[in-house]
Structure 1
Amino acid sequence: MLSSSKSLTEIQQKIDEVKRFLSVTLSIANAHTVEFYTHDVWKRLVAVPPEEVLSAVSSCGDQKGEPQHKGKGQAGNIFGFCSHTNRLVDTHELLQMARAHSLPGLGFCLSRDELLQAFRENVSESGAPLVGTGAELEPDEFMNSKKAHEVQSMSEVVACLARCCRVKQVIDVGSGKGYLSSFLSLQYGLKVYGIDSSSTNTHGAQERNRKLKKFSRAYQKHSKAVRPQEEATRLPLEDFKNIETGTNGDGDVLYGDEAGIVSQEERKVFVGLTDVHLAVEQHSEPNPQTEELFLSALAADVIQTTPPRIPPSQLSAAERERRKRENLERKALNRSQSASAVFSPLTSYVTADTELRELINELEDAVMVGLHTCGDLAPSTLRMFVAKPELAAVCSVGCCYHLLSEEFDPAGQECSHSVCGFPLSQYLREQSWFCGRNARMSACLIQMESLFYRAVLHVILRDHYSSYKSEKRVGNVYSKAKSFVDYVRRALRRLELDESKLSDSDIQDYQDTYRPRMAEMHAFNMLKVTLAPCIEGLILLDRLCYLKEQEGVWFSALVQLFDPLLSPRCYAVIGLKTNGNRITH
């Protein structure tokens, strides 16, 4: 039986634990790398050599198993920091406590398998059809291995949510290129509305969707046309025989009644979609081979084959009659469901106040999803789920925490309660808690040399350009620079400063002076990266707490959907409502 595994009180207790840890350690997370040398950050916050930090981080990464809470360390030392000087004095203590206060260390997340098992038990009791388990994706097909892993893992969970809630529509917020939306539509027979603020993304998704629809129609008319004659995994087009073809004025090969529509290049996709469309027509459970064929279908340079087809002349009369009857039934079913299994890309900037019914005229009860929605879009998705009665469930995977707006950050701009992305829960808002942008940025891994260049540039600006105003940003100069000297000159031009003040040797002297201290920056950055999961954990616990605070939300949980080695932003916030009889509990 599906049930909420953690109570609101338990979540609040975990939030308090993480807050206490971060209240001591945020001084490191919020230190600005640009000011690393000008403010002498290392000596101000750390009392151990950088080599000791790097060695401790390396040995900590080799440890197995989950850490145990130790409370306070030595006398006068809390979480590895001296209570008198507020400087780090015990790196091992800090690293262990950081692991203990991350989501894995807190033991507060469901695994994807646990969630799916609970879903299957729930839909089995309610009589809804079960969803099968998908297979791992090949990294060289359709998408890179990271995106393929995310789409397949998340789509099965979303399909289970839809069946659990007995709905057939999905709203994909921040849908991007439409990979998740297309997969949900074709593989699971769901009607998906993909909303993205970028018209470029929407246009690309629309074009991809147009081709997929075309190939589906082609399959219905020519299911016999695409049958490879040998069992090879990939074959060139000329190896396919017995296909009714024609050509257009440009010499493209066309197929049967689709002549003038399907080009030779597009036919590669048509081959792979044959079995996919069949599965959608039959509304059968997902098949690992079918899923791989779908992914191959979107790669123009890949052809997947199907088993050899037995000629009709070799079938018995009873078998021919059976196949004819099944084919007629499939066509009738497909005609009745063709309007429901479709992906419709839409362009719109979505906020918590967006009226979905104004965007989607045919909107019914639906599941709202977001795969790596940036900044405030993720909390806005959760607010919409709570506020809109037509949304039966939500599955939200956020990212780009540095783009979140914070209601109580004294250095930030004012924002209304309906707009700010953090904190979301009433519990943290009552405490006026904030993290700070630099702390949220700590999860972003940037090339170390780029950070070093920027920090030394800041020293140059302090020494030679006292009138410089920091409102202007250097931007992405590092990727274009051939050397440190070139980097500084490009940056000075970008900042509209007089570069003639400095000779090349003057600039080079700065690099030579601070190069021996680069280890300090490297070690400090590793400390920030170590603290990043704790900051992410607080943000996600805040979102879960928000759902737990809502009376209309029956089930809510944090779920690790993805392999963190493939997809570091791997946690989903999932919620289901008690509307009507959609959910059995």
Structure 2
Amino acid sequence: MFTPSLSSEQQRDLAIRITTFLSQYSHLSDAYIIEFFTEDLWSTLPCSWQPVLKDLSYPQIADLLLDATHGDRRYPSVWPLSLLAFRATAHALAFPRQTRVVSMPEEFVENHSQSSLLGHIFRKHVKPKKQHEIRKLGVLVKDICEQTECSRVVDVGSGQGHLTRFMSFGLGLSVTAIEADHNLVSMASRFDGQLLQALEKEKQKKLPTSQSSPCHVAGWVNPNASWEDFLKQLKTSNCGSEGSPKPSGPSKKRLKHQRHAPDIQGSEACACPDNTSPSQSFDRTSQQQQSQTSSSENCGSHVQPVCEDVSDKAEDSPQAEDFVLTGLHACGDLSTTLLRHFVKCPHVRGITSVACCYMKITTRENPVPPGVVEGPIPPTSNHQPLPAEFGYPMSSWVRGLPGHPLSYKAREGACHAIEDYVRRLREDSQLLRTHCYRAMLEAFIRNVRPDLRRAGIQTIKKAHLLPFAEYARLGLVRVGLPAMLPLDAERMETMLDQQVRVVVYFSLSMLLAPVVETLVLLDRMIYLQENGVDSQLIPLFNPNLSPRNFVLVALKSQ
């Protein structure tokens, strides 16, 4: 059983310190770097900070500000105590993102695109980042299943089913995968079939037993629905037929906008060719410690539902089986919904939650994320209703703390890859120039259209290699302004000279990003504790490869 890394008292004390700290520096976490010139952001820094920060080199920004592990800090000048305290406090309050400094996982030393620890049949269609994640998380889920004596897993927000396949074919678990996008469900089923064909060709039928193929369910997980409805969604009566699922419930168009939006309708698909068996081409790191215990079953009937029959009172149903919930980078409110189902549903024995897209979490201050409308869903609508409970804060404790609200910008900033940014700084990357370019363009746009604030321009290809005039020409067209809009050359040069200041300011806000993420995840830990469940936050993935590397693990006692 995992033990909590922080006691209840320590969790609550940390939440107090973080909210106090973040509320003091909210002007940094809430600032948009594209408004550096229009809002004169540099002048918002303490006067004592400005002289020591304005002439830093990019590697110095990385070493002196962002890297908590950097030991040899040689300051080019005497820093004010308030700046030193700001940096030290930010590093101290954030959960450590890795246990030791490793640039890249050892599994990618020989080949940067192929994990040496993952069988080749699980690498097909899978990028290195995902290879690393499914191997690490799959083994952790397997361990939790053994501790809770569960052989069944529900993978929510499963996408193309890469984690699902590894857990099912590689680790011998019975897996039901739920994904809102019907197209992704069809792809997952097709990839299952390809894997089974590869196993047949290789004739790797050496395992003493076999396990079920995964079952893919197309449907939403509803944050407003009860756990009983969630169990009904897991009913997989149509599994065993090969091919893509027949869409039911939300339309494909609606799902395209909301991969993790709510619904309780679903359809199932399972790739189960006749006379197939599992392979030993699974995670080599766990090969010796695994013992396959599932019984042999005929395809077409071996995909057992998590819950074969769920009545209106699912807790009284003798057919309901216990299982473990997992969600790999479940977007926005989906992660919080899974935690609530874990707490309330007696059949969910354990959970591993890897979150992402914190800016899409609903809050009291921002109850409607972009693209969402209030009210019931009309039959042809592409939107979802407001949740009954907000994604942040989940806990009563954090909800009662002064200064706990987190703006959309602060939560969006918490999704940035700070390790990648440190690497760019140390390499003196020209990519850093784009911060200044976009801020300059914002200033010229507002000269003509003061009402046009933070207009979406999207990425301009190889912007850092362009002269600013060419960058501006491409950007102006995208916001409906003339490409040849006159640009004040003298003003342009003055702003270009402040490029380092732009990067410094952005780095200060990046320093707060891990603290914001810590508060969001700490709130979830406290929520679990308030409901009688201890949890642990594990930096499972290498953050250089997978920026959202924390997994929240919780188990219920028997």
TM, length-normalised to structure 1:
0.63
Shift in alpha-carbon separation, 1:141–1:394, aligned structure 2, 3 A? closer
Whether the 8 Å CA contact 2:117–2:283 is kept in 1: the answer is no
In 2, the alpha carbon distance for the partners of 1:196 and 1:21 equals 38
Shift in alpha-carbon separation, 1:499–1:15, aligned structure 2, 3 A? same
Shift of 1:549: 0.9
Q: Does 1:365 align with 2:322?
A: yes
Letter of the structure 1 residue corresponding to residue 516 of structure 2: I
Whether the 8 Å CA contact 1:190–1:341 is kept in 2: the answer is no
Say which SS state the counterpart of residue 157 (structure 1) adopts: helix
Aligned to 2:92: 100
Shift in alpha-carbon separation, 1:56–1:3, aligned structure 2, 3 A? closer
Aligned to 2:480: 496
| Bigger mean CA offset, 151-160 vs 417-426 | 417-426
Whether the 8 Å CA contact 2:90–2:515 is kept in 1: the answer is yes
Aligned to 1:33: 33
Shift of 1:18: 1.4
1:513 to 471, 480, 494: 494
Q: Does 1:277 align with 2:269?
A: no
Whether the 8 Å CA contact 1:456–1:510 is kept in 2: the answer is no
1:437 to 408, 411, 414: 408
Shift in alpha-carbon separation, 1:396–1:45, aligned structure 2, 3 A? same
In 2, the alpha carbon distance for the partners of 1:28 and 1:278 equals 52
1:208-264 C-alpha deviation (Å, 9 max, x unpaired): 0122234455667x859xxxxxxxxxxxxxxxxxxxxxxxxxxxxxxxxxxxxxxxx
Letter of the structure 1 residue corresponding to residue 63 of structure 2: S
Say which SS state the counterpart of residue 277 (structure 1) adopts: coil
Shift of 1:558: 1.2
Letter of the structure 2 residue corresponding to residue 34 of structure 1: I
| Bigger mean CA offset, 416-425 vs 406-415 | 406-415
Shift in alpha-carbon separation, 1:66–1:373, aligned structure 2, 3 A? farther
Say which SS state the counterpart of residue 368 (structure 1) adopts: strand
Letter of the structure 2 residue corresponding to residue 515 of structure 1: L
1:86-134 C-alpha deviation (Å, 9 max, x unpaired): xx874333222111111129xxx999xxxxxxxxxxxxxxxxxxxxxx9
Q: Unpaired runs of 5+ in structure 1?
A: 68-73, 75-79, 81-87, 112-133, 225-273, 292-329, 345-354
Whether the 8 Å CA contact 2:154–2:324 is kept in 1: the answer is yes
Shift of 1:342: 8.7
Shift of 1:427: 1.1
Shift of 1:33: 1.1
1:269-306 C-alpha deviation (Å, 9 max, x unpaired): xxxxx9992549xxxx9654969xxxxxxxxxxxxxxx
Aligned to 1:19: 19
Shift in alpha-carbon separation, 1:367–1:453, aligned structure 2, 3 A? same
Shift of 1:442: 2.3
Shift in alpha-carbon separation, 1:497–1:136, aligned structure 2, 3 A? same
In 2, the alpha carbon distance for the partners of 1:31 and 1:454 equals 14
Shift of 1:493: 2.7
Q: Does 1:398 align with 2:360?
A: no
In 2, the alpha carbon distance for the partners of 1:366 and 1:410 equals 32
In 2, the alpha carbon distance for the partners of 1:342 and 1:510 equals 68
Q: 1:297-336 maps to which residues of 2 (within 5 A)?
A: 333-335=295-297
Letter of the structure 2 residue corresponding to residue 574 of structure 1: V
Q: 1:37-186 maps to which residues of 2 (within 5 A)?
A: 37-47=37-47, 48=50, 49-52=53-56, 55=60, 57-59=62-64, 64=69, 90-104=82-96, 136-137=117-118, 141-142=123-124, 143-186=126-169
Whether the 8 Å CA contact 1:168–1:191 is kept in 2: the answer is yes
Aligned to 1:573: 552
Whether the 8 Å CA contact 1:189–1:341 is kept in 2: the answer is no
Q: Does 1:537 align with 2:538?
A: no
1:13-44 C-alpha deviation (Å, 9 max, x unpaired): 11112122212222211111121101110112
Q: 1:543-582 maps to which residues of 2 (within 5 A)?
A: 543-551=524-532, 553=533, 555-578=534-557
Shift of 1:499: 4.5
Letter of the structure 1 residue corresponding to residue 556 of structure 2: K
Aligned to 2:190: 207
Aligned to 2:333: 376
How many aligned positions are there?
Answer: 424
1:522-572 C-alpha deviation (Å, 9 max, x unpaired): 111111111111111111101111111113x3x422122122233221111
In 2, the alpha carbon distance for the partners of 1:477 and 1:527 equals 25
In 2, the alpha carbon distance for the partners of 1:66 and 1:158 equals 36
Letter of the structure 2 residue corresponding to residue 428 of structure 1: V
Letter of the structure 1 residue corresponding to residue 479 of structure 2: L
Say which SS state the counterpart of residue 96 (structure 2) adopts: helix
Say which SS state the counterpart of residue 407 (structure 1) adopts: coil
Whether the 8 Å CA contact 1:170–1:192 is kept in 2: the answer is yes
Letter of the structure 2 residue corresponding to residue 422 of structure 1: Y
Say which SS state the counterpart of residue 103 (structure 1) adopts: coil
Shift in alpha-carbon separation, 1:219–1:412, aligned structure 2, 3 A? closer
Whether the 8 Å CA contact 1:407–1:416 is kept in 2: the answer is no
Letter of the structure 1 residue corresponding to residue 39 of structure 2: H
Shift in alpha-carbon separation, 1:153–1:448, aligned structure 2, 3 A? same
Shift of 1:371: 1.0
Larger radius of gyration: 1
In 2, the alpha carbon distance for the partners of 1:342 and 1:217 equals 23
Aligned to 1:301: none
Q: Unpaired runs of 5+ in structure 2?
A: 73-77, 101-114, 207-274, 307-311, 375-384, 422-430
Say which SS state the counterpart of residue 427 (structure 1) adopts: helix
In 1, the alpha carbon distance for the partners of 2:119 and 2:84 equals 39
In 1, the alpha carbon distance for the partners of 2:549 and 2:277 equals 28
Shift in alpha-carbon separation, 1:514–1:436, aligned structure 2, 3 A? same
Q: Does 1:187 align with 2:170?
A: yes
Whether the 8 Å CA contact 1:488–1:507 is kept in 2: the answer is no
- The structure that is helix-richer by fraction is 1
Whether the 8 Å CA contact 1:51–1:523 is kept in 2: the answer is no
Whether the 8 Å CA contact 1:368–1:385 is kept in 2: the answer is yes
Whether the 8 Å CA contact 2:196–2:276 is kept in 1: the answer is no
Say which SS state the counterpart of residue 146 (structure 1) adopts: helix
Identity of aligned residues (%): 25
Shift in alpha-carbon separation, 1:492–1:208, aligned structure 2, 3 A? same
Shift in alpha-carbon separation, 1:341–1:184, aligned structure 2, 3 A? farther
Shift in alpha-carbon separation, 1:89–1:473, aligned structure 2, 3 A? farther
1:427 to 397, 400, 406: 397
Q: Does 1:527 align with 2:511?
A: no
Whether the 8 Å CA contact 1:557–1:573 is kept in 2: the answer is yes
